[in-house]
Structure 1
Amino acid sequence: MTGWLRVDEQAFSGGVEHLVEPEYYNGSCALSLLKVRILETRKLFGATDVILYSIVVNGLPDMKSGTPFWSRQDKFPQVKKGATLSIDPDLGVLLFRGRPQGFLNLYLVAVRDTEETRQFAQLLKENFVAKGIGTIAGSLIQIFSGPTGPVTVPLAREATTQAVEATIDYFAKQKNLAIGVYYASLIREKNYGLGYHPNDYPDSMINCDGHFEVAYEVQKAGE
């Protein structure tokens, strides 16, 4: 997968029939961002304004009920190398709350806040949100659900990942604009990664290729 600076993708052990057994958690989850530290600002001197895009894709895209994802962008002014973004460590930032449908894909994109990135942010919104998942994943799912058989959760994740990758991968390659990209895919077989990421947080954080560090938590949530 080109362009990603850090990938955490949990492997399926088998087909979709393995994802519905009683021992796996099937309730609602809350995914919260706890801490982000910027290690590289892509700026030679001084501080820079940073935008953090957070996108969570919830399982199989449903073209009838709407786009199955949560997204947000947060701006942080005058960030220096080594600085921790201003996120309340006790509350965190809620990125997703709901009942996962087989898998949750998390994408974090940290970029410098410039006129170029603001223009691209609009393209990201228009193409990824309105067209990326709906058009690309939709067409792939039609292929997967053809004569070869029904859509499985692993195939749905593959289609969704391809759809998102096409847009964000371009963003990650923009010279001196993208600070770092993090991708994680959490599956039902692993109870959607309930707990801290990394599991020894706050003693450590996930290092994204030396560009930024991140920590998040997945908790059981009430219905």
Structure 2
Amino acid sequence: MHTPESEPVLIATQIAKTFPNQSGGLNIFNNISITAAAGESIAIIGPSGAGKSTLLSLLAGLDIPTSGNIRLLGQPISQLTEQSLAELRAQHISFIFQSFQLLPELSALDNIQLALDIQGQNNSLNRAKEWLDKVGLASRYHHIPAQLSGGEQQRVAIARAFATSPSLLFADEPTGNLDEQTGAAIIDQLFKLNEELNTTLILITHDPSLAQRCQRRLKLHNGELEEL
């Protein structure tokens, strides 16, 4: 699925999120709007506790806003069933997390092949090998995550994310668990692959130098999102 050229990949309009508490509700943010075009890279920065990861969950359809509307790839997600939304994510959206989120009992190769199989890709084994080769892990096909360094695990996660040719990629603090040198190499790889595939990238980070690599930078602070 590709949205018409005239329609952005992601449109969030006046979204708010409130969590119930003893005093009636905690507003994380109010009336946030954001649009992401095909191939665009956007960094969302802000202090810890500002709600960056909550916002990402809403934009990706993993959580539901208290109010407001979100369209993903031309689909109003509030009107989709859970199954339809899950299929939309499986076919067109990928994620990279700070904690890698690899299945611990599966090899590097199997972690990538599983994502391709879920998507219904043909020749998933060879495609998985090609992607591990791309991220420099040809000698690690059969290693499980516990046998890989943090940087190698994140390379597997990047390969898995891009192998499914996503229209939209969400990355939440992708270098947060890595040392500075390893993190820099991971980011170089992430942006190189993103440019090659022309994927829309929405990146959550507290790292200003990482945010500078994106075409647009937005700051989430005191419940508001401002363009920098």
- The one of the two structures with greater contact order (alpha-carbon pairs below 8 A, sep at least 6) is 1
The structure carrying a bigger helix percent of its residues is 2
The structure carrying a bigger strand percent of its residues is 1
